[in-house]
Amino acid sequence: MNNQHKEAYISLNALTQFKDQHGHYHFDADKEAVKLYMQAQIMPKLLKFKDIPAKLTYLVENNYYDEIVLAQYKFDFVVELFQKAADFNFTFPSLMGAMKFYQSYALMTDDKQNYLETFADRACMNALFLGHGDAQLASCLLDDILHKRLQPATPTFLNAGKKRRGEFVSCYLLRLEDNMESIARGISTSLQLSKRGGGVALCLTNLRESGAPIKGIVNQSSGVVPVMKLLEDSFSYANQLGQRQGAGAVYLNVHHPDILQFLDTKRENADEKIRIKSLSLGVVIPDITFELAKANKDMALFSPYDVEREYGKPMSDISITDEYANLLANPRIKKTYTSARKLFQTIAELHFESGYPYILFEDSANLRNPLKKVGRIIMSNLCSEIAQVNTASAYSEDLTFTKVGEDVCCNLASLNIAKVMEAAPQFAEIVEHAIYGLNLVSRASDLACAPSVQKGNLGNHALGLGAMNLHGFLAENHIFYDTEEAVDFTDIFFFCLAYHAFSASNKLAQKVGPFANFALSEYADGTYFQKYLNEDKQPKTAKVKELIKKYQLKLPTASDWRNLVERIKQSGLANAHLLAVAPTGSISYLSSCTPSLQAVVSPVEVRKEGKLGRVYVPAYKISADNYAYYQKGAYEVGPNALIDIAAAAQKHVDQAISLTLFMTSEATTRDLNKAYIYAFKKGLSSIYYVRIRQEVLEGSEHLAEDALISNLNECESCMI
């Protein structure tokens, strides 16, 4: 690449952070940077073909495209679809979007010298794959992707239609039992799944604590930390062709006796023998822990070894909140004590040091669990938006299964709120296309390497349709993020999304049948939907009423819900879970929109992108007209505003919201503890990362740049 051209588009992009002599920002400079980037860097390296049939023939014959995907359709239709995509004349709204696609998603020749795809081509292959032979659905999906109404998750968007590929699944959740066979099988399964490109989370709650007996001999168990070290080394080894290390997380219930040592592994000054560097940590907190902290009481830590012997089932499969008094009173269960407030203080200190641990509010997640009769939600994933039931497996000494339980995989995609609202009269159709496409992902994935995950997936076909670009939509419509109107709109949008998602899954069930445990679910008797059946939902604020009218969004009535519930009772749902809001770190850049439901960190965000250094990312459709609505970003609005937005969505989301809390440099551990309590009281299922803004060096040329660079080590497979 000509260095002069490179300097030119980088310089144009950098202009977006500055004002001219009249006080106007150069936001349009980023669009000029895109044009120059495409002309200088991409178009000369894009392999040319005489026509579309020649291109498709080349890509199939040279093992780039999967002929099985294409063979589901008439060849003339495939050519027509590619032509339709080309005629759309797709352009990237931002330099970051263009760079993200061509550096991370576009198919290249094996020698990495030429590009074989444009964004439109990749969109076509996704539409054809997700359409699964249905030409009309494929055409609709292409429209939704090109218009940026729908964006498949990174593993799906990256791998769809490729001959040589990873899996389409973002991440996996595995539970471990208290025996060496389960631990060994968990490690080997993690290696297999990492090899295929997914992030893996494992629940350690059932492992006996340090000092517990082995074969009746006391003080023999080493506890959970050595298992964490084994897992960390395994994920480091599974480096996915050297592109990045495998991504792993471990979850532990806070009433496990090893909890403080578990947390200490992330301390900056931890002994190297126990220090965990790349493995992510998550904690599972039941309601009773908050009650004990409120009363300033000590909390009991219960031996999982003793609990399983007394209850006949693992510790993760009982409710610590419900059984706390019985556990305390049982002299045959060993218990130790620590201050509940000290626990929360330790969690807050670690959040300041590392951003970890993730938090799963166990009882909140299980309260909305539609499969209570099947099992409990005991953990989450690497981005804390998945909340599904895991059930136990059992093994013989040679690690073969004697009982295959059910573990979890994440089949994800996200709607772009602003773009969906622009097409609001077609809201139902857009959601239906998304659910149908995601359902195909759940049915097309080859998970034979992980039998428990495969069983869970085939039995549940659970999906995680989410949304992004909330702040972009709010700013475009002159609504500040930290307002009642913002919460009101979020509530209404997800209310509509839930209705149409359940409706789409019900239509699917009429074709393919209900998921395996539907009859045991709260969907089957209608109890899950009670909150929707008695009153028509309406916006609470005048501004949102205006938006509903402006965009012609039709709100489902209580009668609509009652009719839907009757249909669900009769023919079921194809999917055990439907909604989950992921962080969308990668695909929001690809789509040039604001991430997930969170506020932007700055009107012009700063990213570190390899050899290019700093790349500036203007917020969605930012202009002089709406700039003020981006000025108050995630750090400025404070954690309560972020929690209020997430809680409004959580009312309608059957799984969880990937919520990152942003705290200023003035924040204290007390402030963080207040945020945990507020999120808990608002009924959220989880908290993802905590980010603390660092002080900016005085005299810095770029006033906020050093504080806002987004270089946190996050799991891209789960950021989707």
Map residue 527 onto helix, strand or coil.
helix
Q: In the chain, count of helices (H) and strands (E)?
A: 31, 18
The torsion defined by the Cα of 132, 133, 139 and 145, in degrees rounded to 10, comes to 20
Considering only CA atoms, which of 719, 460, 428 is closest in space to residue 590?
A: 719
**Pairing relationship of beta strands 464-468 and 412-416 according to DSSP bridges:** parallel
Cα separation of 622 and 31, whole Å?
12
Cα separation of 173 and 409, whole Å?
6
Going by C-beta distance under 8 Å and a sequence separation of 6 or more, which residues neighbour residue 636?
none
Residues 313, 281: contact at Cβ < 8 Å? no
Phi-psi category of 219—alpha, beta or left, where left has phi over 0 and alpha has psi -120 to 50? Answer: left
Q: Where are the beta strands (DSSP E) in 573-644?
A: 604-608, 614-618
Q: Which residues partner with 249 through β-bridges?
A: 201, 280
- Do you know the residue count of the chain? 720
Long-range contacts formed by 677-682: CB under 8 A, 24+ apart? 677/290, 678/639, 678/640, 678/643, 679/361, 679/639, 679/643, 679/646, 679/647, 680/285, 680/287, 680/290, 680/361, 680/364, 682/643, 682/644, 682/646, 682/647, 682/650
Instruction: Out of 381, 411, 416, 506, pick the active-site residue.
Output: 381
Active site residue 381: yes
Active site residue 209: no
Separation in Å, CA 306 to CA 182, 343, 371: 18, 23, 27
Residues 199, 153: contact at Cβ < 8 Å? no
Instruction: Out of 140, 171, 203, 383, pick the active-site residue.
Output: 383
Residues 419, 587: contact at Cβ < 8 Å? no
Separation in Å, CA 116 to CA 1, 111, 135, 586, 669: 18, 12, 24, 21, 51
Structure tokens at 165: 């590929």
Radius of gyration of the chain (CA): 25
Instruction: Out of 308, 385, 432, 485, pick the active-site residue.
Output: 385
Cα separation of 704 and 614, whole Å?
13
Cα separation of 266 and 498, whole Å?
38
With residues binned 3-state (H G I as helix, E B as strand, rest as coil), the percentages for the chain, rounded to 5, are: 45, 10, 40
Q: List the catalytic residues.
A: 381, 383, 385
